[in-house]
Amino acid sequence: MNKLFNLLLVFVPLTFVASYLQWSPLAVMLIACMAIVPLAKIMGQASEHVAHHTGPTVGGLVSATFGNACELIIALIALNAGLVEVVKASITGSIIANLLLVLGGSFLAGGIKRSEQSFNKMWAATGVTMLTIASFALMLPAALHHVGGPDSQLLDSKMALAISIVLMLLYACQLFFSLKTHKHQLGAVETAEDADEPTTSWSLKKSAFVLAAVTVTIVFLSEKLVGSVEAAAETIGMTKIFVGLILLAIVGNAAENSTAVIMAMKNKMDLSLNIVLGSSTQIAMFVAPVVVIASFIIGKPMDLVFSQAEILAVFASVIVVGRIVHDGKSNWLEGAMLLGLYAILGAAFFFI
């Protein structure tokens, strides 16, 4: 299996060759997707070694942060190009993909050979509560938008800025809670398989270097991918909203998504859940606010008025995930449920 992943590394330089030679957008998109797969595996290995030194809470945060760096850079590039609606769709799409596709895939992959898996209930409850607040923050501007007057657009932008500041402060509080004041209560649930884990590990410095190098490479690959995905989607008959909410969301977060599934297969559910919930929370409460603040700096103010379909999808995802993780245990059927809901939403957005 490792040899197969090593062979896939050839697609990394091939992506840049295909882009330089101006191959068809569909070919560039497929090659870039193949190139991200082995890099995602390497990022998963590095994240696991970081967690070995720091614990699952910090390890999950590190993996989510490096993975979302791609999403943030892509969003800022698209914002500067005036693609505001695409940026909004990628934000909500990333949250939905993390909560349903990635968490569902993790529960399914990890539960195939086990009757159930366990994780820290306190961290799960905290993460879901923060996401519930974030989803409400995304709903409110759209609801108030319809009662706005002639200056509605200006008010929407100012409201987005105010909400973004509050969300960033709440996110900072969550980090302080999980990394400082309540760190001792957010430890991993011990499993019988932990005793079989190897004691050898990369140094923290090496792990951080590998994470940084892989992230930079994925950023450049993602840029090539985003530049081709819209034209490729039109070639095979996909709508723009489907591209933003589904394709870009999956590709932009492919690295940490793959890591979460791999950790679940190794029965490291705390690290897997920390990656998924940490990434979703970071997108909603850090990436989105940063993009809003950046939009004011570059003179292209962005609001947080999302479509009703996007809001309903995010809110439904948070509610369902909250119901599933409240007991601190998971199984393959719960993973299938989440994947089923994601397929339903994907089909709906495909025909919008």
Mean pLDDT is lowest, of 12-21, 38-47, 147-156, 259-268, for 147-156
How does pLDDT run across 187-208, given as a tens digit for each residue? 555 455 554 454 457 888 888 8
Closest CA to 104 of 255, 321, 326, 347: 321
| CATH class for the region spanning 2-186+203-351 | mainly alpha
Nearest-CA neighbor of 175 among 69, 22, 57? 57
pLDDT in tens, 245-262: 777 777 666 666 777 888
Q: H or E stretch including 256?
A: helix 254-265
Flag whether pLDDT at 73 surpasses 70. Answer: yes
Distance CA 350, CA 240 (A): 9
pTM of the model: 0.79
Pair 74, 248: CB distance under 8 Å:
yes
User: What local confidence, expressed as pLDDT, does residue 140 receive?
Assistant: 85
State how far the Cα of 108 lies from the Cα of 335, in Å rounded to an integer. 5
Task: Sketch the domain layout of the chain as residue ranges.
Answer: 2-186+203-351
